[in-house]
Amino acid sequence: MNALRSPVLLVSTAAASIGAVIVAMNVYDTTSAPPAAEAVVRVDQVGYVRGETKRAYVMGPTKALAGARFKVVDAKDKDKVVTAGRLGAVTGHWNAKYPSVRTVDLSALNTPGTYRVVLTGTAAGRSPAFRIADASELMTPLVRDNVRFLQAQRDGADVLPGVLRHGPSHLADEHATVYADPHYDEAGEELLDERLTPTGVTVDASGGWFDAGDFLKFTGTTSYSTAELLLAERDLPAMPALSAEADHGLEWLDRMWDGDSGTLYAQVGIGAGNDNVRTDHDVWRLPEADDRLDVSPGDPDYTIKHRPVFRANAPGEPITPSLAGRVAAVFALAAQRTADSDPDLAREWLEKAAAVYDQADTDPDPDEPLVTAFPSGFYPEDSWQDDLEFAGAELALAARELGDDREGDWTADAAHWARAYLDSDAKGTLNVADVSALAHVDLASALDGDRGNGVGAADLYKDLRRQLEDGVERAGHDPFGAGAVYDDFDAVPHTFGLVATAQLYAKATGDTRFAAFAGRQRGWALGANPWGTSFVIGAGEVYPHCPEHQLANLRGSLDGKGAILRGAVVNGPNAADKLTDLNGFPTMKKCTAGPPSGAWTDFDGKGSRYVDDVGAWQTVEPSLDFTTTALLAFALTAQDEGH
């Protein structure tokens, strides 16, 4: 979980002067909304796939809902009723204002169109509009929007201006200095070194993607996201923009691996410093502003323009296994991708993958945190066997494509690491810290019915069921059927991870038992949740308008229309006590958006809170890994027409 993805930012007086604009209003159009209602209706605002189980939710006073009914009307003609019925069973209590939650079963609605749910009888309320359509029609535009976010995140000279008019940035990264590992206090919040210590090595660290709302770049998140793009490309091969972003990620990861010295670089930029070393999190500016700084060595702002690079390993020494496994897997996926069209290039990728994999530290100190970022708390990770399983599986499949006789060895290796993961206490579900779902599916393919090191496809599929059943169990105790945890970081990406896992499992096994669960999780992330908001910017009627994202804040629209960071996925709800302090800068354009009626606090519950405010990195900061996990879920769903 990315608990320190964007720690409390410090106010900068040295940032470029940009006039503050305050936006604090309900930014959604309510001119056509009904009068204040006793109840609210929550739907998947993007829409439901024809033939799938479809569920909406109503929350309100217990007595009012007891006698309520619903009707579904055409969104353009409210007098055209297409179906009607009674509310379903009570699913639980949410909060004091909305104590009762009941379901609306829309499963019988399969005629393509755009609709709204309207309450009748003892309760009043209506839903945002939603569509009924085929999976590809609903999901493919979402994938395209996710790709637009990646395009907006590009760094370096090869940028795409897009709607946010982003220019070339951090050109000094082309000749970046490599520094020794920085030292932090126990909390990981303050740099203990008076100055960073250069190693005397420079590297080309240009390009890549910004990690989140800041401008740092991490090998761990970039490799995770590039892997998901390459896997999504299998299902959507005719999307050139997606392929171009996969290429962009690959090019940067290739720069992060120095095969001559056996060094993998882990991070570009620094996010936690001190008075002598100012960091990316100390300023709020456009990315290209860093290039215009007039600084010299020793200036506190020197590390903002001339960003430090940190290593995952000393030259030739073992590499952090989570990073080594993930990068090797990406290079092996690149080999598979080009095996038919350019075998020579594919073999180059395979050799790079093998070199990184062979240097992985397979016996890390269990008492030391894995070196994933600096400080490590930015991206804490407990498991690493899943990353090596992922690498071994992709190496084996690439070797099969290229007729390389190492296929059997890599398959056996992958099975060994799969068994180690299955026997560990660090098992999770798909997110930036756990890639076992991706690894299991491709290892099962590499095993091709065999068993290696005590692991067969049945064992791998059993663990996929474990991941999904854990989500199903949590959903069974939640009024809105959420399989993720509301009051912890990364609720939304974990939700999309469950959707992707259900699709991967069904595709590999033909077992569709989790199809309804996957649909409900997708719906929760796209509006069928207590707050009635989609957590994907631009998706649905209600979505985040004030993301904590410097480029979107300074160059984008603050009313949610026009130039927005379309396709970005945010964290979503978080623990209420994590939102006591919001970030602020003199150069930040203030932006606070409320729901269509009332306040977000009306819908908080179960110890969780959601805020749409530019300072709320805990709920509305988008990130690379959040978005590509959603992209993979959407891509897999788009190709699932078997409902």
| Tokens encoding 276 | 């002598």
Instruction: Let me know the angle formed at the C-alpha of 57 by 501 and 475, rounded to the nearest 5 degrees.
Output: 35
Cross-strand bridge partners of residue 570: 622
Task: Return d(Cα 278, Cα 368) in angstroms, integer.
Answer: 27
pLDDT band of residue 19 (cuts 50, 70, 90) is very low
CA distances from 31 to 28, 34, 35, 353, 602 (A): 9, 9, 10, 57, 21
Residues 197 and 97 in one domain: no
Residues 186 and 267 in one domain: yes
- Can you give the residue range of the structural domain that contains 180? 171-205+208-455
**475 lies in some domain:** no
Average pLDDT of the segment spanning 187-207 = 95
Check pLDDT > 70 for residue 441: yes
What percent of the chain is modeled with pLDDT above 70?
94
Task: Return d(Cα 303, Cα 392) in angstroms, integer.
Answer: 37
**243 lies in some domain:** yes
Residues 228 and 358 in one domain: yes
**9 lies in some domain:** no
Number of domains comprising the chain: 2
| Tokens encoding 118 | 């309207």
pLDDT band of residue 38 (cuts 50, 70, 90) is confident
**470 lies in some domain:** no
Q: Which amino acid is at 536?
A: V
Residues 118 and 188 in one domain: no
Report the mean per-residue pLDDT for the chain.
Answer: 93
For residue 201, give the CATH number of its domain: 1.50.10.10
Q: Which amino acid is at 326?
A: R
pLDDT band of residue 561 (cuts 50, 70, 90) is confident
Residues 320 and 419 in one domain: yes
**Of the candidate ranges 107-111, 139-143, 161-165, the one whose mean pLDDT is the lowest:** 161-165
Check pLDDT > 50 for residue 23: no
Q: Number of C-alpha atoms within 13 angstroms, CB side, residue 584?
A: 10
For residue 600, give the CATH number of its domain: 2.60.40.10
| Tokens encoding 316 | 């030739």
Residues 243 and 113 in one domain: no
Helix/strand/coil (H/E/C) assignment for every residue in 369-433: CCCCCCCHHHCCCCCCHHHHHHHHHHHHHHHHHHCCCCHHHHHHHHHHHHHHHHCCCCCCCCECC
Q: What is the pLDDT of residue 641?
A: 59
What percent of the chain is modeled with pLDDT above 90?
87
Which residue, chain included where needed, has tokens 């006793």? 38
Residues 102 and 194 in one domain: no
Q: What is the pLDDT of residue 1?
A: 41
Residues 188 and 97 in one domain: no
Q: What's the DSSP call for residue 9?
A: P
Check pLDDT > 60 for residue 584: yes
Average pLDDT of the segment spanning 216-221 = 98
Check pLDDT > 60 for residue 432: yes
Average pLDDT of the segment spanning 261-283 = 96
